[in-house]
Amino acid sequence: MSSSGKGQSVAKSAKDLQASWDYALAGMRGDQKKIIVEEFIRFDSEITLLTIKQVKGKTLYCPPIGHRQERGDYQESWMPGKVPPRLLKKAQLMAKKVTDALGGAGLFGVEFFLTKNDIYFSELSPRPHDTGLVTLMSQNLSEFELHLRAILGLPIPKIASTGPTASAVILAQKDLSAPVLTGIDKALAQAGTDLRLFGKPDARPYRRMGVALANGKTIAENLADARRKAAKAAAQVKVIGS
């Protein structure tokens, strides 16, 4: 039982196995003394497919979300992610198979690896997903609204895109108690940007303290514009001591 890369490592040969075992046990939640061993996939990119399993109604999918990770944690995400239609259909079928087997209702953040010719199931979160924070600006119903509607049996008549959108995380750089966030005015000075600040009571290196959101102009003009704006806005917010 782990999250956000904690306890995960790559064993490249038999001599790495003991160190990987020890690191996995040190990073796990609980004391099960069991680990998961997975094949290493040399993938080109990653996506999250937000999958909505309704109490009433069929399973729905948001457009794919592209994302980039470092240290096992999401750093930026963008919507829509680029996936060939054939592979997107395959991802939807896999997501439905897994979420049907798990049961329950709500929004699942299902992650996939993409190669040139195929797509591989990676993992899922049975809840709104961190990479899905981009939906706070990218569509009419955010992942949180979709989660609630699916569980409560409320209708989801249409999930409508508002255009190319990106998110970028605001990170702390060191241990701080009662941190203060500065530079918010600079971040919001760009047209088409917004912030969500998490209000965490303390900080540590690489802890996510918030997220910057940005719209691009048109998909053609493009997603790269949204990603640049989101990264710039996130960089302008600084986490300092009180």
Q: Is 68 a catalytic residue?
A: no
Domains 41-162 and 164-242 share a fold: yes
- Rounded to whole angstroms, how far apart are CA atoms 242 and 68? 31
Q: Is 131 a catalytic residue?
A: yes
Within 10 angstroms of residue 1's Cβ, the number of other Cβ atoms is 12
Q: What is the pLDDT of residue 33?
A: 81
- Rounded to whole angstroms, how far apart are CA atoms 158 and 140? 9
Could you say which of 106, 142, 207, 208 is catalytic?
208
Could you say which of 46, 130, 143, 145 is catalytic?
130
Q: Report the predicted TM-score, pTM, of the whole model to 2 decimal places.
A: 0.88
- Rounded to whole angstroms, how far apart are CA atoms 7 and 28? 6
Could you say which of 5, 72, 104, 241 is catalytic?
5
Could you say which of 16, 38, 123, 175 is catalytic?
123
Q: Is 135 a catalytic residue?
A: no
Q: What is the pLDDT of residue 219?
A: 54
Give the containing element (helix H, strand E) for 233: helix 219-236
Q: Is 123 a catalytic residue?
A: yes
Q: What is the pLDDT of residue 21?
A: 93
- Rounded to whole angstroms, how far apart are CA atoms 39 and 2? 18
Q: Is 3 a catalytic residue?
A: yes
Q: What is the pLDDT of residue 4?
A: 65
Could you say which of 76, 111, 143, 145 is catalytic?
111
Q: Which of 119, 164, 115 is nearest to 138 (CA)?
A: 164
**Lookup result for tokens 């981009």:** 134
Could you say which of 48, 51, 77, 131 is catalytic?
131
Q: Is 38 a catalytic residue?
A: no
Domain 164-242 CATH superfamily: ATP-grasp fold, B domain (3.30.470.20)
> Tell me: domain 41-162, CATH 2.102.10.10, correct?
no
Q: Is 196 a catalytic residue?
A: no
From first to last of the 242 residues of the chain, give the pLDDT tens digit: 666 667 888 999 999 999 999 999 888 877 778 888 888 889 999 999 999 999 989 999 999 999 998 887 899 999 999 999 999 999 999 999 999 999 999 999 999 999 999 999 999 999 999 999 999 999 999 999 999 999 999 999 999 999 999 999 999 999 999 999 999 999 999 999 999 999 999 999 999 999 999 998 655 558 889 999 999 999 999 999 87
Q: Where are the domains of the chain?
A: 1-40, 41-162, 164-242
Written as six digits, the tokens of 97 are: 């198979």
- Cβ atoms of residues 176 and 220 within 8 Å: no
